[in-house]
Structure 1
Amino acid sequence: MDRITLAFWSLVIGLCGATAFFVTGIYGQQATQQQREAKLESGDLVQLVKVIDGDTVVVSKEGQPNATVRLLGIKTLESKHGKDEVAVYGRAAEEALKRLVGDKPLRVLLNTPPRDRHGRTIATLYAGDQDIGLGLISQGHALVYSVYPFASMPVYLQAQTTARANNLGLWGDPEVSAKAEAMINEWARQGS
């Protein structure tokens, strides 16, 4: 075997080894993170610790580590991408979420299955009798994420139709609502 071929195969083997090392480390970190998170059950009362974005929060359950919860059945616009019109509505969703929750305890209703592929808990959160996801949709701050059907989807879709008809939140901006419609149409294709 000449030197170039030997160097090539040495590089390939080295890259494969490095990839395996990093992938193992990432999966190990995810498993450790999931082990450190609170074990939430339907009916648990939790407190809001942090809003990650308009559809993902960190909550705490007394005596346990924090848990990341993805709100079932909704999707808010991204808030982390600067000052474009979409980010404005993403930040508005975060603020609306904080207002809906306030300092009230949240009741957890877990989805089946209770975790997504990222290890986040998937749940509906209630502040008193208020479904937080439904509240965000009703105000025009969130879209119904229809790829995976869920029990409250018909109610969520009706609230979205009403918010759209009344030009609430993101639905009042023609450019942003066109992007939202494109997302909804894509999700409909994915879900069918």
Structure 2
Amino acid sequence: MIQGSARVIDGDTLQVDGKRVRLFAIDAPEIKQTCTDKRGFDYTCGRAAARALQTAVGHSPVLCTSRQLDQYGRTVAECHNSQRQDLGHLMVAKGHAIAYSRYSNKYVLDETKAKQQKLGIWQGKFEIPATWRKKQHDLQSDKSDL
């Protein structure tokens, strides 16, 4: 268990009690990632996801139950706000993150509903966060080859 005040790093990562915690089974757009809204305008969906997570966390302590460590040494955990709401569920249900079904199907129904209701990133067009990260990594690799 990790418990304490939380600082939002991005839409799926918190700093809790001095520890970096990645929310279990969700993937949110990266801070610099942009998406297209329903009117066709670009917006920083990564920043919108981080703001949504900050709203869900509020200024109260969070409680996280560790599931595993990821490839970067971060704790992967299910976290709840002071109202005992599952932060992963809130992020996916409101369309600010996708269900990371590669790791669990826990939030797939939440994603389906958000998609049907065209909430958050589902209102327009976006790139899957993992695909966006890979493209950014490849671009950096190409630059270092020059």
TM-score, normalising length: structure 2: 0.77
Q: Secondary structure at the match of 2:65?
A: strand
**Alignment partner of 1:165 out of 96, 116, 119:** 116
Aligned to 2:140: none
1:139 aligns with 2:91: no
Segments ≥4 residues shifted beyond 6 Å = none
Q: Which has the larger radius of gyration?
A: 1
The sequence identity of aligned pairs, in percent, is 35
Change (3 A) 1:182 1:94: closer
2:22 to 50, 60, 70: 70
SS of 1:57 mapped into structure 2: strand
Residue 107 of structure 1 aligns to a residue whose secondary structure is: strand
**1:100-139 equivalent positions in 2, closer than 5 A:** 100-111=56-67, 114-127=68-81, 128-139=83-94
Equivalent residues in 2 for 1:72-111, closer than 5 Å: 72-81=24-33, 84-85=34-35, 88-111=44-67
Q: Per the alignment, in what secondary structure is the counterpart of residue 114 of structure 2?
A: helix
More strand by share: 2
- Calculate the aligned-residue CA RMSD, in Å: 2.1
Which amino acid is the alignment partner of residue 101 of structure 1? V
Unpaired runs of 5+ residues, structure 1, are: 1-41, 61-65, 184-192
Alignment check: 8 A CA contact 2:29 2:129 kept: no
TM-score, normalised with respect to structure 1: 0.60
C-alpha separation in 1, matches of 2:89 and 2:53: 11
CA distance in 1, matches of 2:32, 2:116: 28
Q: Which has the higher contact order (CA 8 A, sep 6+)?
A: 2
The structural deviation recorded for 1:85 is 2.6
Q: What is the 5 A alignment of 1:26-41?
A: none
CA distance in 1, matches of 2:121, 2:24: 20
Letter of the 2:20 counterpart: T
